[in-house]
Amino acid sequence: MDQLVRVLNGIDRRLRVLEEWATAILIAVIVAATAIGVFWRYVLRDPLSWPNELSLFLFLWIAFLAASMVARDDGHFKIEFFLEKRSEATQQWVNIFLNVLKFIFLVVFVWVSIRVFPIQSKRRMTAVLGVHKGWHTFSLTIGFSLMALTVVTDTLRRFVALRTLKSQRGGKQQ
């Protein structure tokens, strides 16, 4: 299991860099599109319609990539008041249970987004750019898949931590 955790940690590091770069590029494109839209509207007095559409479309992708990055940093909201008062082993088991629930939720959403993709691909999301709604849905598929991978990695790390705790307790008793 240690080997698998090392492999997943390596994948996790690479995905983090990829997500950060992709998010940074998308934010830069949104800023540029917005600046172009403002310039054309207020300086040239000839408003463009595509900057708003592009910004709204890319914002969804940023939201799901950012959600994946927050999940990787364990930054989503949770209340740990009761859990902090328990032993480390109990905390690990509770977090493993919660990770299983999260994984089920994420897999259902990935499955649904994959099933909906062909249907949404037949519809146009934007009037000017002609981007299909399937690309909208695909952001959910990617974001939730990345979060599911993070949950699996975190769960395996917690199992390794439990094994380490068990071996430490075993060594103290002898």
Mean per-residue pLDDT, 146-162? 94
Alpha-carbon distances of 141 from 113, 129, 148, rounded to whole Å:
6, 22, 10
User: What pLDDT is attached to residue 172?
Assistant: 58
| Residue 144: alpha-carbon gap to chain centroid | 6
The pLDDT of residue 165 is above 90: no
Number of H helices, E strands in the chain: 5, 0
Three-state SS for 11? helix
Which residues have C-beta within 8 Å of that of residue 115, sequence separation ≥ 6?
A: none
Query: Could you say which DSSP state residue 40 is in?
Result: I
The model's pLDDT over 18-60, given as tens digits with 9 standing for 90+, comes to: 999 999 999 999 999 999 999 999 999 999 989 999 999 999 9
Selection from 78, 64, 25, 58 nearest residue 148 by Cα: 64
The neighbouring-strand residues paired with 132 are 124
The model's pLDDT over 117-150, given as tens digits with 9 standing for 90+, comes to: 988 888 777 788 888 888 888 999 999 999 999 9
Only one residue has tokens 């492999």, namely 7
Per the model's pLDDT, the better-predicted residue between 102 and 122 turns out to be 102
The neighbouring-strand residues paired with 23 are none
| Residue 74: alpha-carbon gap to chain centroid | 11
Instruction: Read off the tokens for 46.
Output: 């000839």
Q: Average pLDDT, whole number, for the chain?
A: 90
Most confident of the following: 4-8, 40-44, 72-76, 86-90: 40-44
